[in-house]
Amino acid sequence: MIREIVFILIVLLLPGSCKISRDVEESNFVSHSDLDELRTKGKITAVTDFNSVNYFIYRGTPMGFHYELLRSFSEFTGINIEVITTSDINKSVDLLNSGAADIIAIDLPSGSDLVNKVRFTLPLNRTGLVLVQRKPSRWTGMSKEEIDRALVRNVSFLAGKMIYVQSGSGAAIEMHRLNKKMSNKLTVIEVPFEAEKIISLVAKREIDYAVCDENTALVNSWYFPVVDISTVIRQPEDLGWGVRKTGSEQLINALNDWIQTIKQNNLYTILYSKYFRNEGLAQIFRSEYYTINTGKISPWDAYIKKFSETIGWDWRLLAALIYQESRFRPDVVSNAGAHGLMQVLPSTGESMGIDITSSPEDNIKGGVLYLSYLQKFFEDKIPDENERIKFVLASYNAGAGNILDAMRLAEKYGKNPLLWDGNVEYFLLKKSDPKFYNDPVVQFGYCKGDEPVNFVAEILNRYAEYKNFIP
């Protein structure tokens, strides 16, 4: 438990900003831009893969080796990073060269033919490929020599056998290359799911052999001790990220500067140890809140689903709001006296006839009733439903009066009072400036606008992350 808590604390303390969007088809980024243009645009688009090492969600919190590296690069450049995901290296290259992505943040083997298609960064990782197979049924009482005799320790002995690999992965590329060299052929079967799923099939005796990268195999061997990962298929080699071969000079220089920085300041070492040398990960994989396996976000999912239906919300959006308010902790009390999962004031609950301190269920019920009130309040004012959500969220944080002030300011200064991004959002930020909070159209005075603005952005970003893993 201590190891798990330390693990979580490290993730929560690391700075950065990533906006995640798993659905590749939703990406609208089609121009080929270098860093100055990306800075003006306000985002860098990166493609990565999702699995038990690179990107996953645990207890509502996004984690992962590449995910946190992207957060670090975002902090280094000061530019938000939007992430699209695919586990197929060939597809990631297509996304890069079509302009839908600016960075491939996947372990790309520097010794592969990819060098002709992308420009590699300095090495970010290093790993080989290993064979995943089951240990003998009585392996716990056997010596290493006895286990070795019972297992495949030479690649040539795989002839005639079926080897499972993740579609489009480095393992798939290598196994097809290896098969061409073998006089006695093996059968390479590509399957469309992540390496840890394939490893679990080996452990469960549904398949006999798989090949994947050594880092992922090592992490999953803590969870599945019955699997053996000692047979090397390919020796470790340098792995980097990729950018387009032309038109990305500033971006590749920034990436290389950042890589040198994180290797000098030990951030890289910390993250590598956290994800590839931490046996506490096995406890996370076993948890019912390891979202990749279970689809669960929190202990309160049933209540969240129940009450989200009453206001017509996607339950994952309500879950993102609750995470933002309380990190799913039901006993939190703010300095202002707001209670519980949804940080509702007891007076607000009383006005709706609910004791929001009595139970997590009643706390969520009270918070949702307040959201329902805000939705009705803005229903006629903001006709677009997607825009209205932003106004409701901001009002939940700062009160509807401050949002109305910002709408009036937007209208006065020629902005659109019905749009959030760059319009009402902009003038809510200005409500901390005397020039604006003393304006005659302002009725509710000073507001520290960055709090509700960040509140809205972080909830919507987290909502996108939850949609990545929960259909």
Read off the pLDDT band of 397 (50, 70, 90). very high
Q: In sequence order, what DSSP letters do the residues of 165-184 get, joined into one string?
A: EETTSHHHHHHHHHHHH-SS
- pLDDT over 90 for what percent of the chain? 73
pLDDT of 285: 85
Band (89; pLDDT cuts 50, 70, 90): confident
What is the pLDDT at residue 386?
96
Instruction: Look at the alpha carbons of 44, 48, 52, 57 in this order and tell me if their dihedral is positive or negative.
Output: positive
CATH classification number, 2-124+238-294, choose in 3.40.50.12140, 3.40.190.10, 2.40.128.260, 3.40.1280.10: 3.40.190.10
Q: For residue 135, give the DSSP letter.
A: P
Query: What average pLDDT does this structure show over 377-390?
Result: 97
User: Mind listing the pLDDT tens digit for each residue in 314-355?
Assistant: 999 999 999 999 999 999 999 999 999 999 999 999 999 999
CATH 3.30.950.10 fits 127-237, yes or no: no
Long-range contact list for 375-380, CB < 8 A, 24+ apart?
375/311
The total number of residues shown for the chain amounts to 471
Strands (E), 110-226: 119-120, 125-134, 162-166, 187-191, 209-213
- CA pseudo-torsion sign 219, 220, 226, 229: negative
Instruction: Kindly report the CATH number that applies to the domain delimited by 301-469.
Output: 1.10.530.10
Sign of CA dihedral 458, 461, 465, 470: positive
- pLDDT at position 9 is 33
Give the pLDDT band of residue 88 (cuts 50, 70, 90): confident
Q: Provide the pLDDT for residue 5.
A: 32
- With a cut of 70, say whether residue 1 has pLDDT above it: no
Provide the residue ranges of all domains of the chain, joining segments of one domain with +.
Answer: 2-124+238-294, 127-237, 301-469
Contact 308, 314 (CB under 8 A): yes
Report the chain's mean pLDDT, rounded to a whole number: 90
- 206 as an active site residue: the answer is no
Q: Averaged over 65-76, what is the pLDDT?
A: 96
Residue range 426-434: average pLDDT? 97
Average pLDDT over residues 7-17: 37
pTM: 0.81
Residue 18's pLDDT is: 52
- Is there a common fold for 2-124+238-294 and 127-237? yes
pLDDT at 280: 85
| Mean local confidence (pLDDT), 64-82 | 95
> Of 82, 325, 425, 465, which is the active-site residue?
325
Residue range 376-404: average pLDDT?
A: 97
How far, rounded to the nearest angstrom, does the alpha carbon of residue 471 sit from its chain's CA centroid? 15
Asked whether 183 and 96 are in contact (CB, 8 A), the reply is: no
How confident is the model at residue 112, as a pLDDT?
73
Q: How confident is the model at residue 76 (pLDDT cuts 50, 70, 90)?
A: very high
pLDDT digits (tens, 9 = 90+) for 228-286: 999 999 999 999 999 999 999 999 999 999 999 999 999 999 999 999 988 888 888 88
Q: Reply yes or no on whether the pLDDT at 11 is more than 50.
A: no
